[in-house]
Structure 1
Amino acid sequence: MSTVDVEYVSLSACYAQVIWMRTELLDYGYKYNRISMYYDSKSVIAISCNPVQHSKTKHIDIRYHFIKEHVENGTVELYFVGIEYQLADLFTKSLPKERFEYLVHRIGKRCMTPTQLESLTKSSS
């Protein structure tokens, strides 16, 4: 399989998990009609948004093509996100200090030194 094929299967598997989480949230009264997903491969997004089956993707198991139906129905929207905004890199890669601090800030957290944490602990007690 090519890299695009593997990433397409991965996107479909991810969306299957999102659907499961969506049904669980429905039990608690949260309703999501449209789900936005961000991906870093324009080729995978193009395959997912094209309802026509091409010869280059016919070898992919049919169970992974359900995402095309959901894109067509509008229950999922796929957006491209560049590598510089990949927040998952924070958890999956070793990063330089500046990049780590940038991503920590992007997810809404703060990165503190042990000295800062100690002074916060003293001031709260």
Structure 2
Amino acid sequence: MGQLKFFLGLQIIQSDKGISIHQTKYANELLKKYKMDDTKEMKTPMHPSSALRIEEDSPKVDQTQYRGMIGSLLYLTASRPDIMFSVCLCARFQADPREVHLKAVKRIFRYLKGTINIGLCFRRSQDFSLLGYCDADYAGDRWERKSTSGGCHFMVK
């Protein structure tokens, strides 16, 4: 059968140095599907000073399309941890998406356009250990008083 090169939308490159995983083909398909393939690129997935919240005065957007975009981006986070925070923040507003939330999602797509080839790389090593960290902000959401928690794991040599 040969080496594994493509599996469930993941593109896999195996070499003597290690394994690289990316979803370039899937990301390109997403950009075309949502007509974002000819837009301007962004350097960050979210503006540093943006604070998404429930917006009563912003116009409503199509909930089905918004959920589809979020679902597609969540699948992309399998190889793109750099967009995880932004996508999960936007996912909180799926029940009542507004124009400001859709703008934030479109910015993530514009960021993807400029960083289409980013993925994960696992270097081959005989000697490594797993190191993990976690944190929570304890009711950091000012409006709903929800907590945000997260974790990060590193394979260190």
* Higher percent of residues as strand: 2
**Which of the two has greater helix per residue?**
1
Provide TM-score, normalisation by structure 1. 0.23
Pair member with larger Rg: 1
